[in-house]
Amino acid sequence: MQSLEGNLALVHGGPFANIAHGCNSVFATKTAMNIAEYTVTEAGFGSDLGAEKFMDIVCDNAGLQPNAVVLVASIRSLKMHGGANAKELEQENISALQIGLENLQQHVNNIKAFGIPLVIAINQFKSDSAAEIKTLSAYFTAHQMEFALTTLFADGSKGAIDLARKVIKLASKKVTLKPVYQLTDKLEDKINKIVKRCYGAAGVEYAPLALTKLKQLNHRKAYVCMAKTPLTFSDDAKQIMINGPFKIHVKDLIVANGANFIIVMAGDIFRMPGLPKVPAACKM
């Protein structure tokens, strides 16, 4: 495929990162790396799901070394994670934005722990107020976070020139990826490392079925593919805001031999991808 401005786009991937690895294929990534100076690949959802799986599964399996990360957010999403009503996200809400920045901080910490430099891309909406943008800028400056405001949807590539320049600068640095776990770690240790480092959870609680399988699979050299809601760091889709310590509840462990995954079923996740009755393409 190609973008509206004639740029090459390789669309060759699998299911979403809440139920699978959520990245495009290794074939597509390596093809792009052979024909372009810079390759941008998407890791679905947040740093806790798509990014973790890209770093721990895809990069290890394919021998890839990312040079930089673009962490995408919006003032609207930050306000929602700060407790704002989903129907009132276009209204100015500084207090919700400030609380929501704590959620973003966990994502930033996750990327930094991988040892990869990052820039935060803020997708701007018309509803973003000057006071909200000022609050955001002050937070990033105080915490020494690189960021860029983007208007890609409205202005095309012109709306991301500042972001592109910062990505190029970051990508010029020599870095070494630091995975969450090693393939030789025990399964229980791999899961613990993911939920504690990437989710900020206090630990894991296993249902009887999962505990039985854990004992059988604990020494297997396989990748961990977490299956949980993408709406929050916890496994409870209704718990958008995290108030205090929480645990991840594992109900089952499923072996995917072909991919060398052990799929960890957390919370009430459903593995069949959910798609709308009317494709979004019909509204384009």
CATH number of the domain bearing residue 78: 3.40.50.300
Same domain, 41 and 145: yes
- Domain that includes residue 219, residue range: 187-266
Domain assignment present for 40: yes
C-alpha to C-alpha distance for 190 and 198, rounded to whole angstroms: 12
Number of domains observed in the structure of the chain: 2
Predicted pLDDT at 274: 66
| pLDDT reported for residue 67 | 96
Instruction: Mark whether 142 and 227 lie in a shared domain.
Output: no
Asked if residue 71 and residue 32 are part of one domain, the reply reads yes
* CA distance readout (Å), 165 to 6, 32, 39, 147, 162: 20, 20, 14, 11, 5
Query: Do residues 73 and 108 both lie within one domain?
Result: yes
| pLDDT confidence of residue 273 | 66
- Whether the full predicted model's pTM is greater than 0.75, yes or no, is yes
Map tokens 């000057």 to a residue: 130
Residue spans of the chain under pLDDT 50? none
| The pLDDT value given to residue 227 | 94
